[in-house]
Structure 1
Amino acid sequence: MNSTLSNNPAVVIGIDLAKTHGDVVGFDKDRKIALKLPRISKEKLLERLANMPRASVLMEACGGSHCFVRKVKALGHDGRLLNPGDVKRIRCGHQKNNMLDAAYIAWAWYIPGISYVVPKTQAQQDLQSLQRIYQGYMKTRIEFGNRIHALLLEYGLSSPQTSRFIAEQLPEFIETHTKDLTPLAGEALLMLRDSWLEASEWEKKAGQKYDELVRANEASKRLMTIPGIGPKCAGALLTHCGEASRFRDSRQFAASLGLVPRQNSTGDRDTLGHITKRGPKHPRSMLVQGAAALMIMADRLEGALGEWVRKIKASGKKYGVKVCAIAAKLARIAWRILCEKGWNTGLSLSKPADRGLRLKSESS
């Protein structure tokens, strides 16, 4: 990298963030290097930015970047987040070090059509934190359950794959199979059961807190009126969407969730493949689960959505294709609801509302 610095102020700044510091490279209006700050602490970097004229500050989207870019914007700069995959393509296999990465990040500003990651608000990060805590406890509970079943299988004992078995029937099961289980194995199983119960309790508390926060929001109340979308799915959509107006249309919102077909064009042939699976996995998986539920209850759904779901179900296509099509439809409806009246997607702790599904009565 050229060591001669321009005398002009930097108008585009690239920051390669680390945990406690960052490497900074800035370009002036003539696209010449005007700023180089290797391994500068985040506190000193913010002080330098506070005393600099307004510039476009770019960095990769990573852990801590959403919080840091909000601080940069508060100083009056144009803070942007880049997809790490785009930075990797710009590097194109060249030698990698932190200062070069910062230069590549800054150079992305001059690439036409580059897309940016929208920074999350503090409310979105709060909801995302609860969501990840809940998922973590759920994963831990499942892991302890699998260990219990695997240990029993090591001693030639098969057991029901249910939570009720572990919570209520496991101690009695150990007592009735003392000939097959050694005292040490029985003690280990009870220790695993205690860990399973603790993880299950914390999972329940985190899930209740998450549902309470989601149900208190006006936008999520409206989202939960869509069949197939409950508190977990509504919260995941709010965390991902933020301001719905930032998406051009409903298809772009579905594409941001990876629910549109992958395209492969060559010559005069345009082939559509599997869904792209771009974007966050959690809201996409929630929508797919909701779509699978609608497939089961298709005969009880009312309105135009019910007719459309029944038509898709009877189309004769593969099960996965039908479920993904319904999931994309739910995403489009959700975007439309968030856009039509400009619903506030900020989070509040008002009294939660009950969820309702529009279903046909059993008599009909």
Structure 2
Amino acid sequence: MRFVPLKSAEQLDLQALHRVRSRLVTQRTAVINQIRGFLLERGLPVRQGAAALRLALPQILSAPKDNLSPRVIQLIQDLAEDWRHLDRRVASMTKEINELADQDPHCRRLMSAPGVGPIISSAMVAAIGTGDAFHKGRDFAAWLGLVPKQISTGDRTILGRISRRGNRYLRTLFIQGARAVLLQRQSWPRHGFGAWLEAASKRLHSNVLVVALAAKLARMAWSMLAKGRDYDANLLGRTA
């Protein structure tokens, strides 16, 4: 059994900020989807993405079509105001988290790794502290649910999908960080695992590659946190 270590008051405060921010982001996504759904029901499709909807909405509301009733226009205007309010709340929470991350030495150490910013670093520190509950980076990756399920029978070991057990929020953040790294192909060589990424990108599906990179980033982050050192591409091969 893996027992949860006691969290400090600072960790609890940071974790509370992340939980509130996550809830606000979920609510904002729900509002955006509802606006898009109302428009689509009335034959007004909008390209995917919050930015596209933000650009198209003023024009739609200023020159309403015949299939948009005054009541629906008012509803969409109210939802747009909710959207702006949630944007301000999310921006305020993000700013506060970034400031706390800049002040914390563990967060600053983690942010030296590729794909790890203030949100991921502060969420990780809030969740595991210095990582003393884990013996190695693979244990941390397994706790996040980033390792494949093993289906063993006789002398055969079959690896399935990732377990998706553990901290869902932190797992999602690491996957988003991995996607950000993959989008910047020109920066792969200086990270120390450019050759691995080049080879893996040729034989793995893009989604499988994202999860594999997220697991690697999680193991690297634990090693940096537990051993108290900044990211060094030369030490990558010796991380747990």
Counterpart pick for 2:109 among 207, 213, 222: 222
- Structure 2 unaligned blocks of 5 or more: 234-240
Which structure is higher in strand share? 1
Whether the aligned pair in 1 keeps the contact of 2:24 and 2:89 (CA below 8 Å) is yes
- Structure-1 separation of matches of 2:181 and 2:49: 25
**Which residue is 2:135 aligned to?**
248
The alpha-carbon deviation at position 132 of structure 1 amounts to 1.2
Q: Identity of counterpart residues, as a percentage?
A: 32
Per-residue CA deviations over 1:132-172 (Å, capped at 9, x if unaligned) read 11111111111111111111222222234444455565243
Query: Which amino acid in 2 is paired with 1:305?
Result: F
Query: Which amino acid in 2 is paired with 1:313?
Result: S
**Which residue is 2:82 aligned to?**
195
Per-residue CA deviations over 1:54-96 (Å, capped at 9, x if unaligned) read xxxxxxxxxxxxxxxxxxxxxxxxxxxxxxxxxxxxxxxxxxx
**Range moving further from structure 2, 266-275 or 160-169:** 160-169
Which structure is higher in helix share? 2
Using structure 2 for the length normalisation, give the TM-score.
0.87
**Which residue is 1:311 aligned to?**
199
**Range moving further from structure 2, 247-256 or 174-183:** 174-183
CA separation of 1:165 and 1:333: change in aligned 2, threshold 3 A: closer
- 1:149 paired with 2:39, answer no
**Which residue is 1:265 aligned to?**
152
- 1:172 paired with 2:59, answer yes
- Structure-2 separation of matches of 1:153 and 1:320: 29
- Structure 1 unaligned blocks of 5 or more: 1-113, 344-355, 359-364
CA separation of 1:303 and 1:165: change in aligned 2, threshold 3 A: closer
- Structure-1 separation of matches of 2:51 and 2:211: 32
**Range moving further from structure 2, 293-302 or 230-239:** 293-302
Query: Which amino acid in 1 is paired with 2:173?
Result: M
Whether the aligned pair in 1 keeps the contact of 2:11 and 2:129 (CA below 8 Å) is yes
SS at match of 1:180: coil
Query: Which amino acid in 2 is paired with 1:308?
Result: W
Whether the aligned pair in 2 keeps the contact of 1:223 and 1:234 (CA below 8 Å) is yes
The alpha-carbon deviation at position 226 of structure 1 amounts to 0.6
CA separation of 1:165 and 1:292: change in aligned 2, threshold 3 A: closer
**Range moving further from structure 2, 147-156 or 228-237:** 147-156
Per-residue CA deviations over 1:113-133 (Å, capped at 9, x if unaligned) read x43233333222111110111
The number of aligned residues is: 231
Whether the aligned pair in 2 keeps the contact of 1:256 and 1:279 (CA below 8 Å) is yes
- 1:131 paired with 2:18, answer yes
Whether the aligned pair in 1 keeps the contact of 2:109 and 2:229 (CA below 8 Å) is no
SS at match of 2:66: coil
- 1:327 paired with 2:214, answer yes
> Bigger radius of gyration, 1 or 2?
1
- Structure-1 separation of matches of 2:65 and 2:163: 52
- Structure-2 separation of matches of 1:252 and 1:141: 34
- Structure-2 separation of matches of 1:303 and 1:282: 25
Aligned Cα RMSD in Å? Answer: 2.3
Using structure 1 for the length normalisation, give the TM-score.
0.59
Whether the aligned pair in 1 keeps the contact of 2:115 and 2:177 (CA below 8 Å) is yes
CA separation of 1:117 and 1:185: change in aligned 2, threshold 3 A: same
- Structure-1 separation of matches of 2:39 and 2:157: 53
Per-residue CA deviations over 1:254-288 (Å, capped at 9, x if unaligned) read 11111122112221112211112221011111111
**Which residue is 1:37 aligned to?**
none
- Structure-1 separation of matches of 2:210 and 2:186: 15
SS at match of 1:116: coil
**Which residue is 2:223 aligned to?**
336
- Structure-2 separation of matches of 1:243 and 1:342: 12
**Which residue is 2:236 aligned to?**
none
- Structure-1 separation of matches of 2:160 and 2:68: 51
